[in-house]
Amino acid sequence: MAKAAGVSPAIVSRVINDDQSLRIRPDTRKRVLSAAKSLDYTPNGAARALRLASSGALCLVASDVTHPLHGETLRGAHIRAARAGYVVLLGDAEELAHNQQSYENLLSSRRVDGLVLHLSGRSAEAPLRRLAEARVPTVLINSRMRGRGSVILDDEAAAALAAEHLLELGHTRIGFVSGVAASDRSQRRRRGLEAVLEQQGLRLKPEWIVAGGWDEPAGHEAVLRLLRQRERPTGLVVANVLAGIGALAACRERAVEVPHELSVVAIHDTWFTDHTNPPLTAVKTPLWEMGAAAVDLLIEMLNGGERRSVVLREPPPELAVRESTGPPA
C-alpha cells in the first residue's frame, strides 16, 4: 500500500489510524486512502489491540442471562457501546462461577477491556466481582459498594411509588416480599417502602417481610409462607416482577382472591404483565438507560476517569396500574 501511494509505511500507518498529529498534504492523504480502498485493505483488529492494549470489547456478566428483564439492560449497553466503537460480549455468572479458570483466562488475555457486572447479590458471586476488579475496570449494575464504579436505579423511589399506590387505595396492612435479602437493591427497596409507611404513622411488621428472590419459584414460596400466617396483610409490594408472578400463582393455589383479599404490586414492568392472571400492577423502571449508563461510566473509567456511584433518577419510575390491585375488602 505504501508503494502504491508513493509514501513510507510509517505515513500509511498514521493515515490509516487517523493520527491527528500527522501533518501531510491533503492530496497525499487522499492517495493513501485511495490505495487502501483499491487494495481492499481491512485493519488487523488483533494487531491493533496488541499495539493499543485494547480489544475493543466489553463484557456484561449477568446472574441469569435468560432473565427477561436483562434484555432491555443488555440492549441499552450494546447500543451505547456500539456508538463508542465497542462490542459487548455476554457472560453467565453462574456458569463462570463454576468454571473460574475460563473467567480468569478471559480477564487476563486482554479479550475484554472492561466488565459490567449485573449480579444477584448472592455470596457465591462475590469471587467474580473481586477477580474482575483486580484485573480490569469494572462497573456494578444495580448494586453498589464503597469505592466501586456502579450504576443503580432509584429503588427507594420505585418502592415508595408502589407503597403510595396501595395507601391511596386504602390499604394500611402492607407486606413486603424482598429479593435476595442481603442484596443492596432489596435493602434499598425496603427502605423506600418503610419511609412511606412511617410518613403515615404505619410500620412494616417484621412478620410481613418475607425473603424471596428474583424469579417465580422464589416469589411463589415466599408468598405461600406469608399466607400461612393467621393475620395477613391486605396489600403486598414484591421486589421483582417475576417474583410477583410467583406471588399471583401462590394466591391461586391457596384460593386467595387478587385483588379482593390481597392486592399485589411488583417492582419492574415488562410486556407479559398485561397477560398474567390477573394482569399485574407494576412499577416501570429505566432498565435500558441503566445499561447505557453503565457502559458510559465504564468507558469513562477506561479513559482515566474516577470510579463513581451513579443513581438513575431520570426518567423516574412510573406506575402501571392493572387488575392486581384494588381497595381492601
**Contact predicate 177/219, CB 8 Å:** yes
Helix (H/G/I), strand (E/B), else coil: 302: helix
Q: Where are the domains of the chain?
A: 2-43, 55-153+287-312, 155-285
pLDDT tens, residue by residue, 256-273: 999 999 999 999 999 999
Q: Helices 100-108 & 126-135, crossing angle to 10 degrees?
A: 20
pLDDT at residue 127 in the model: 84
- Note if the pTM is more than 0.85: no
Q: Which of 204, 212, 267 is nearest to 241 (CA)?
A: 267
Consecutive H or E run containing 58: strand 57-62
Task: Count, in order, helices (H) and strands (E) of the chain.
Answer: 13, 12
DSSP 303: T
223 has a pLDDT exceeding 90: yes
Question: Do the domains spanning 55-153+287-312 and 155-285 agree at the CATH topology level?
Answer: yes
Angle formed at CA 92 by CA 74 and CA 211, multiple of 5 degrees: 90
Give 192-243 as a DSSP string: HHHHHHHHTT----GGGEEE--SSHHHHHHHHHHHHTSSS--SEEEESSHHH
Q: What is the CATH number of domain 155-285?
A: 3.40.50.2300
For residues 76-98, average pLDDT: 90
pLDDT tens, residue by residue, 19-72: 656 777 888 888 888 887 787 665 544 444 444 457 889 999 988 888 888 889
Consecutive H or E run containing 266: strand 263-267
Q: Which of 40, 27, 26, 32 is nearest to 13 (CA)?
A: 32
Q: For 149-153, 180-184, 225-229, 303-307, which range has the lowest pLDDT when averaged over its residues?
A: 180-184
> Residue 149 has which C-alpha cell?
464504579
Helix (H/G/I), strand (E/B), else coil: 294: helix
- In terms of pLDDT, which residue wins out, 107 or 239? 239
pLDDT at residue 21 in the model: 61
Maximum average pLDDT range among 33-47, 70-84, 115-129: 70-84
Percent of the chain with pLDDT over 90: 58
Per DSSP, what are the bridge partners of residue 114?
Answer: 58
Architecture of domain 55-153+287-312: 3-Layer(aba) Sandwich (3.40)
**Contact predicate 291/198, CB 8 Å:** no
> Residue 76 has which C-alpha cell?
441499552
Which band of pLDDT confidence, cut at 50, 70 and 90, is reported for residue 101?
Answer: confident
